[in-house]
């Protein structure tokens, strides 16, 4: 599938807000500038070739943009060969230092793998963390894409939006067996309930996690941490298009609601595709689909109390008909045409609410309360006989409601 993407950013943005770090990876903006470059690379280019080299890397709207871009790529390749050992010592396996970081220093990657903020290098566990910049550069659009970034991890999302996961040889069918999925420390009980858009980071915890996350997490756990509201205004929007009439729209708006007290953030997405499998009997595409959803986050910051409210919603429509695969002509023949007399459909909706309250007490104690409600439902229509005459049709409906409450008292000083 071919895609083209266009996006823009509005407002002031503090990369260090709430402990956020962005990776120092080359990102070319429409206006033609190198928006982010790791400090060692930038200094090496400047020392070797002077300021002209940095000008070559910028993309402008002039007619010589393409030669300058190719020249910049060649220059970067040569610089990487000359400065490879130095970069290997100053680059973190997770997030790289931002532009403001001192030269030749390691950037601390903060994670919450043990349900408290810690430097990833201080945790005696196997953890891989990916920040917002790395996720954007990898262009993650679904859970399956995460398997290409993490070793010993394989993810396949079924047509009903639930993933089958194998981590370190331990497999699971769905999201609550073998490998657990969490969003802001709350366990997920359905499929892809958190889109990769507008995430602060993803943490992949390998190995048994039963002590802190329960007995089902024998293979490991995958944690999503969404971005918190900012105390300064910022906005983002992106439009993406591809073949099969694939279209994706997304946007984010964040900023203060009551200065110094209450901040808010809202994000949304809408993606759709006409599909590529043709039903010759019904004379329509058989695997078209659409998914849309959004997230609202409110953050209250008091002297000793911090309260965060997360509201999530996701609605998915697919013509795949749940888990049912289309009948193949033969085991070695792949066809883009089917002859089903009944149009298969799959509709799923879910929404969740999470209230997190952090209260600090005298003596270095901190109490964390997590109150959550999760609801999901699904309806599917299946052509059971897989023939051109609508003889046997299957219907299925399910609904899930989950309430959870967690109280955690810990030493705030760590």
Residue 97: inside a domain, yes or no?
A: no
Output the pLDDT for position 79: 45
Output the pLDDT for position 334: 72
Q: Give the whole-angstrom CA distance, residue 300 versus residue 307.
A: 5
- Is residue 290 located within the same domain as residue 400? yes
Output the pLDDT for position 27: 33
Output the pLDDT for position 200: 92
Residue 179: inside a domain, yes or no?
A: yes
Q: Give the whole-angstrom CA distance, residue 140 versus residue 248.
A: 13
- Is residue 129 located within the same domain as residue 58? no
Residue 101: inside a domain, yes or no?
A: no
Residue 102: inside a domain, yes or no?
A: no
Tokens in use for 383?
């052509």
DSSP 289-322: EEEEEEEEEEEEE-SSEEEEEEEEEEEEEETT-T
pTM, entire model: 0.71
Alpha helices in 17-121 (DSSP H): 39-49, 51-57, 65-90
- Is residue 292 located within the same domain as residue 322? yes
- Is residue 23 located within the same domain as residue 86? yes
Q: Which residue is listed with tokens 């998915």?
A: 316
305 HSE (CA, 13 A, CB side): 8
- Is residue 158 located within the same domain as residue 30? no
Cα–Cα distances in Å, from 105 out to 23, 24, 48, 307? Answer: 14, 13, 20, 34
Residues near 24 by beta carbon (within 8 Å), at least 6 away in sequence: 36, 37, 38, 39, 41, 96, 97, 98, 99
Instruction: Print the domain residue range for 129.
Output: 110-226
Tokens in use for 314?
């996701």
pLDDT in tens, the chain (414 residues): 555 565 655 655 444 443 333 333 333 333 333 333 444 444 444 444 444 334 434 433 334 444 444 444 444 444 444 444 433 333 344 444 444 545 555 667 788 888 888 888 888 888 999 988 888 888 887 778 888 899 888 888 776 667 788 888 887 665 556 888 888 988 887 765 567 778 999 999 998 888 888 767 888 889 999 999 999 999 999 999 999 899 999 999 999 999 999 999 999 999 998 888 888 888 888 888 888 999 999 999 999 999 999 999 988 887 654 444 556 667 777 777 888 888 888 888 888 999 999 999 988 899 999 999 999 898 888 888 878 888 888 888 989 899 999 999 988 655
Output the pLDDT for position 277: 82
Task: Report the relative pairing of strands 126-131 and 278-279 from DSSP bridges.
Answer: unpaired
- Taking alpha carbons only, the member of 323, 314, 294 closest to residue 381 is 323
- Is residue 308 located within the same domain as residue 378? yes
Tokens in use for 149?
């970034």
Residue where one domain finishes, among candidates 226, 257, 285: 226
Residue 104: inside a domain, yes or no?
A: no
Number of domains the chain contains: 3
Q: Give the whole-angstrom CA distance, residue 226 versus residue 296.
A: 11
Residue where one domain finishes, among candidates 192, 208, 226: 226
The region that residue 104 occupies, defined by phi over 0 for left and psi between -120 and 50 for alpha, beta otherwise, is left
- Is residue 77 located within the same domain as residue 120? no
Q: Which CATH number belongs to the domain containing residue 134 in this structure?
A: 2.170.130.10
Residue 288: inside a domain, yes or no?
A: yes
Residue 189: inside a domain, yes or no?
A: yes
- Is residue 144 located within the same domain as residue 256? no
Residue 385: inside a domain, yes or no?
A: yes
Residue where one domain finishes, among candidates 202, 226, 250: 226
- Is residue 387 located within the same domain as residue 350? yes
- Taking alpha carbons only, the member of 303, 310, 394, 380 closest to residue 346 is 380
Output the pLDDT for position 52: 39
């Amino acid at each position: 599938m071919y895609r083209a993407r266009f996006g823009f950013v509005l407002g002031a943005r503090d990369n260090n807000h709430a402990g956020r770090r962005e990776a120092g990876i080359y990102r070319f903006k429409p206006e033609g500038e190198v928006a982010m470059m790791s400090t060692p690379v930038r200094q090496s280019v400047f020392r070797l070739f002077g300021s002209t080299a940095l000008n070559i890397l910028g993309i402008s709207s002039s007619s010589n943009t393409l030669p300058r871009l190719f020249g910049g790529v060649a220059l970067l390749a040569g610089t990487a060969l000359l400065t490879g050992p130095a970069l290997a010592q100053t680059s973190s396996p997770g997030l790289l230092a931002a532009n403001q970081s001192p030269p030749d220093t390691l950037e601390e990657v903060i994670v919450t793998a043990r349900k408290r903020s810690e430097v990833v290098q201080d945790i005696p566990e196997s953890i891989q963390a990916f920040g917002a910049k790395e996720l954007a550069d990898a262009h993650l659009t679904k859970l399956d894409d995460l398997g290409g970034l993490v070793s010993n991890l394989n993810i396949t999302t079924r047509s009903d939006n639930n993933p089958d996961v194998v981590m370190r040889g331990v497999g699971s069918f769905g999201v609550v067996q073998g490998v657990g999925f969490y969003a802001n420390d709350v366990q997920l009980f359905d499929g892809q309930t958190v889109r990769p858009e507008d995430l602060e980071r993803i943490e992949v915890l390998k190995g048994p996690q039963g002590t802190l996350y329960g007995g089902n997490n024998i293979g490991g756990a995958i944690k999503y941490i969404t971005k918190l509201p900012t105390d300064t205004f910022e906005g983002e929007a992106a439009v993406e298009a591809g073949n099969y009439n694939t279209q994706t729209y997304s946007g984010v708006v964040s900023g203060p609601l009551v200065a110094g007290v209450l901040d808010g953030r809202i994000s949304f997405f809408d993606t759709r595709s006409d599909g590529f499998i043709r039903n010759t009997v019904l004379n329509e595409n058989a695997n078209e689909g659409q998914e849309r959803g959004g997230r609202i986050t409110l953050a209250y910051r008091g002297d000793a109390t911090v309260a965060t409210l997360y509201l999530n919603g996701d609605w998915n429509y697919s013509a795949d008909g749940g888990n049912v695969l289309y009948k193949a002509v033969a085991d070695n023949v792949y066809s883009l045409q089917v002859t089903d007399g009944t149009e298969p459909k799959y509709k799923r909706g879910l929404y969740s609410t999470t209230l997190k309250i952090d209260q600090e007490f005298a003596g270095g104690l901190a109490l964390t309360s997590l109150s959550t409600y999760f609801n999901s439902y699904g309806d599917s229509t299946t052509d059971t006989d897989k023939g051109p005459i609508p003889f046997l049709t299957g219907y299925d409906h399910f609904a899930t409601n989950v309430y959870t409450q967690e109280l955690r008292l810990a030493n705030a000083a760590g």
